[in-house]
């Protein structure tokens, strides 16, 4: 905070507003936007990777792999997303600490599950109680990112599985007739062509992922929703910058932020769809050929 802002009650007007918007909590609020963008940057490719592996497994001729892939795809159906988010965070945290419990806790230590509580020896805590606050925040964010990737990976697997099934079987059989192995057909024919079929579903999934980022607040990560609620709430004279209920203005700012993100996404996804459709035996590809003729 600037020296001129040392006593907020002694200033007013634009100076008060400038000091208010540059306070420590507002700086954390601005950084929280990067937290959301970082979550998307990590989760999107990770979920796509989970989805590709799941869809490939679901098409495998090997029965255990096929059953595992189809089970992964089906696990998000019929259960609200919030239940998966809350469950995976708790399950991942306990699984990590249990593995560390087996490695570092003294022999003969009681099992972590003690009635309704989960307790491990201090050495098995992740992160350790002596770790800095930054490590605790990073660990919480990592758990949230992995949870997002696993949950949205199941949706992506369902989309990619349908896209693989949509590639004309005749093209795959023609490639096999020319002597290509199953791996070559998969790598050179199936995978390149499936993206044009998968993109509409993946585009919707990307939009849903953007809208799901406020769930970070429920997972214990201080994101933009947390700070908008905290900063916008009424502040009495006990606070440095007292004001009324300004939550409406903060959430309007979040509305503009998310609308801008979705609009930019629509433009980029539209360009990507045109690029993937070029030369493909799809309705979009046929329209492009007719327009060029």
Residues 263, 275 contacting (CB under 8 angstroms): no
Each residue's pLDDT tens digit, 24-65 = 888 989 999 999 999 999 999 999 999 999 999 998 888 999
Residues whose CB falls within 8 Å of the CB of residue 195, separated by 6 or more in sequence, listed in order: 163, 276
Alpha helix segments (H runs only) across the chain? 13-21, 24-58, 63-74, 81-104, 133-166, 169-177, 182-185, 191-212, 224-232, 247-277, 283-292
Q: Which structural domain, as residue segments, surrounds residue 140?
A: 3-292
Q: What is the pLDDT of residue 256?
A: 94
Residues 265, 258 contacting (CB under 8 angstroms): no
Q: What is the pLDDT of residue 280?
A: 59
- For residue 247, what is the domain's CATH number? 1.10.3720.10
Q: What is the pLDDT of residue 289?
A: 47
- Residue 270 Cα to chain centre, angstroms: 21
3-class secondary-structure state, position 214? helix
Q: What is the pLDDT of residue 115?
A: 76
3-class secondary-structure state, position 235? strand
* Burial class of residue 11, CB neighbours in 10 A (0-12, 13-18, 19+): middle
Give the integer Cα–Cα distance in Å for 8 and 16: 7
Q: Is the CA virtual torsion 91, 65, 162, 289 positive or negative? A: positive
Residues whose CB falls within 8 Å of the CB of residue 265, separated by 6 or more in sequence, listed in order: 203, 206, 207, 210
Q: Which tokens in the block code for residue 41?
A: 């940057």
Q: What is the pTM of this model?
A: 0.82
Q: What is the pLDDT along the chain (293 residues), one digit of tens a residue?
A: 566 777 777 787 888 888 888 888 889 899 999 999 999 999 999 999 999 999 999 988 889 999 999 998 888 777 777 888 888 888 888 899 999 988 888 887 888 888 778 888 888 888 888 888 888 888 888 988 998 998 899 999 999 999 999 888 888 888 888 888 888 888 888 888 888 899 999 999 999 999 888 888 877 788 898 899 889 988 877 778 888 899 999 999 999 999 999 999 999 988 888 887 766 555 545 454 455 55
The count of structural domains within the chain is: 1
Each residue's pLDDT tens digit, 233-253 = 888 777 788 888 999 999 999
Q: Of 246, 152, 166, which is closest to residue 198 (Cα–Cα)? A: 166
Residues whose CB falls within 8 Å of the CB of residue 57, separated by 6 or more in sequence, listed in order: 65, 66, 68, 69, 72
């Amino acid at each position: 905070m600037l020296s001129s802002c040392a006593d907020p009650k002694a200033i007013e007007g634009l100076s008060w507003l400038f000091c208010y918007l540059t306070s420590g909590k507002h700086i954390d609020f601005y950084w929280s936007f990067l937290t959301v963008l970082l979550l998307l940057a990590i989760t999107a490719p990770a979920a796509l990777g989970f989805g590709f592996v799941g869809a490939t497994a679901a098409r495998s001729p090997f029965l255990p792999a096929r059953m595992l892939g189809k089970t992964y795809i089906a696990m998000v159906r019929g259960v609200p997303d919030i239940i998966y988010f809350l469950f995976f965070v708790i399950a991942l945290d306990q699984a990590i600490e249990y593995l560390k419990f087996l490695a570092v806790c003294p022999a003969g230590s009681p099992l972590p599950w003690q009635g309704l509580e989960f307790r491990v020896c201090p050495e098995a805590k992740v992160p350790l109680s002596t770790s800095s606050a930054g490590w605790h925040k990073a660990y919480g964010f990592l758990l949230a990112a992995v949870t997002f990737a696993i949950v949205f990976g199941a949706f992506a697997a369902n989309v990619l599985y349908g896209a693989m099934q949509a590639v004309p079987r005749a093209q795959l059989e023609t490639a096999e007739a020319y002597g290509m192995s199953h791996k070559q057909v998969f790598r050179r024919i199936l995978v390149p062509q499936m993206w044009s079929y998968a993109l509409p579903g993946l585009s919707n999934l990307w939009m849903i992922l953007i809208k799901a980022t406020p769930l970070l607040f429920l997972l214990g990560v201080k994101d933009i929703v947390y700070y908008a609620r905290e900063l916008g709430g009424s502040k009495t004279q006990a606070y440095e910058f007292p004001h009324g209920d300004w939550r409406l203005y903060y959430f309007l700012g979040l509305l503009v932020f998310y609308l801008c993100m979705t609009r930019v996404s629509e433009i980029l996804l539209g360009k990507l769809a045109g690029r993937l459709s070029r030369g493909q035996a799809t309705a979009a590809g046929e329209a492009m050929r007719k327009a060029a003729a």
